[in-house]
Amino acid sequence: MRIKKEFSLQHVVEGAYYPGVFIIKIDKVLREGIQYDDFSKEDWQTFVHEYVHFLQDISTSHGYLYYFHKSQLFDLCFYELQTNTTGTVVLPILTEHTKMRNAPAKELLLDFYGGDTSHFRLHHINRIAIEVDEVVTEMISEESELDSEMYSVNIYYDDKDIPYAFGNECIIESMAYLIERYLFGAEERKNELPYNSCEIICQYIYPELLSKPDRISMLCEVSLMHDNCGLFYYGLVDLCKKENLAYLSDAEFVDFCEKNIEAYQDTFELSYDRAKEGIDVLFPSRFPYSFAVNQQLKIFLECGHNFRNAKKLFISDAFSVDDKMAYFMWLINLFDIPILIDGKNDYYGKPGVQNMPVADAVLSILMDRSTECQLRDLCKSSKMPNYDEEICINSPWLQCEREKLCPIAVYFKGYGVDKLEFEKKVKP
């Protein structure tokens, strides 16, 4: 399960992954010197599902978009703060209220590509159609220079009028489920969105693919090299039907998928370069708490980028090896894990990465309607010396006035906005 939107650690029943901050949280109490061979079969199923999300984020165009988008929001917020002439800032800062014309459109576009994220079981499919979303098309055309129609893959189910929008999040979750289910024996899910969504698309368009979960995973992996993953995946499955590609040999199908990835190499390289630029904005090298994160994030992305170029389908390659667990152990040794949080909120991971959530927490304070700093539980459990529950819940920016600066206050000081007065808009 991926936790979307702004960063906020929460209780999880089994496991969760936080994109961009590279946190895997599992509901299992670990011990110092963690050894993965101590995991039970169920633990491995949960961990592998979340680790696949990490691999998706460090090695695909879709994953790289996070840093570029977040850095633009970051620039937008601090531009608004630094150009504030009243001395008082009313939070949250909303993109539609800023001076940057395209900001709301970009945010809307990413949400549109993301598609629905609701988890539920359905009874039956009525139809699946590619349709123009007239509302989103109009909103984006009003907010930007874009005037093209916005198409969505809509799954109509259980005789309802409102469809489920098949988008990027469906691809991500479906691929992780396929690996967890078919390689590690996880409990089978049936007609459950978003986990079965890619299989549902195949069932509707080209059922011959359903007997080959490895190929469905490959199509997911190819689709994640694009902005609008859902629309691209639908197109790939439709192409497979038209050319009857389910009956290709394994080597021929791999070649088909690899050629599709190679065709969009320029997009992948551009996304990678923008991600690195975004990391420099989100984690300035001159700030305390930021330099180590900046370097480590670039190492994660560089490893994913280089490996993707060398092995185009390296995540789905797990289907073709004899020892699935050994393959994932090899990937873990190759890419490492950033932050792993267990059921007691204890942290495991590489030194220097514990501050990866800071930039997201800053954005949450500035753009979210909640007042509470999302790092509060982390600071409390790690016994941060300047932790103050009253301040951290109600007015985190007051940390700037204390003798010792917390990570949040470092950003406010570093960007020169620590002298401003901040007010939270009261919810209606």
CA 357 to chain centroid: 13
Q: What is the pLDDT of residue 143?
A: 58
Q: What is the pLDDT of residue 87?
A: 85
Mean pLDDT, residues 131-154 taken together: 77
The pLDDT tens digits for 77-111 are: 898 899 888 888 889 987 765 555 555 666 777 78
Mean pLDDT, residues 337-348 taken together: 79
Nearest to 23 by CA among 343, 282, 307, 349: 349
Q: What is the mean pLDDT of the chain?
A: 88
Query: What distances in angstroms separate CA 133 from CA 5, 111, 151, 162, 257, one per listed residue?
Result: 22, 13, 6, 12, 29
Q: List the domain boundaries for the chain.
A: 103-250
The pLDDT tens digits for 6-52 are: 556 655 557 788 887 788 888 777 766 666 667 788 888 989 999 99
Structure tokens at 10: 């929460």
Please give the single-letter amino acid code of residue 167: G
pLDDT at 2 over 70: no
Q: Do 58 and 17 contact (CB within 8 A), yes or no?
A: no
Mean pLDDT, residues 236-240 taken together: 98
**Other C-beta atoms within 10 Å of 37: how many?**
7
Query: With bands split at pLDDT 50, 70 and 90, how would you rate the model's confidence at 275?
Result: very high
Q: What is the pLDDT of residue 323?
A: 96
Greater confidence (13 vs 353) lies with 353
Mean pLDDT, residues 162-181 taken together: 96
Query: What distances in angstroms separate CA 179 from CA 25, 137, 279, one per listed residue?
Result: 19, 35, 30
Q: Is 119 exposed, middle or buried (0-12, 13-18, 19+ CB in 10 A)?
A: exposed
Q: Do 128 and 241 contact (CB within 8 A), yes or no?
A: no
CA 334 to chain centroid: 21
Q: What is the pLDDT of residue 178?
A: 98
| Total-model pTM | 0.91
Q: What is the pLDDT of residue 109?
A: 74
Distance CA 286, CA 264 (A): 35
Distance CA 93, CA 78 (A): 10
Backbone torsion region of residue 197, taken as left when φ is above 0, otherwise alpha when ψ lies between -120 and 50, otherwise beta? alpha
Query: With bands split at pLDDT 50, 70 and 90, how would you rate the model's confidence at 148?
Result: confident
Distance CA 200, CA 60 (A): 23
Greater confidence (424 vs 151) lies with 151
Most confident range (mean pLDDT) of 19-33, 292-306, 379-393, 412-426 is 292-306
Greater confidence (348 vs 120) lies with 120
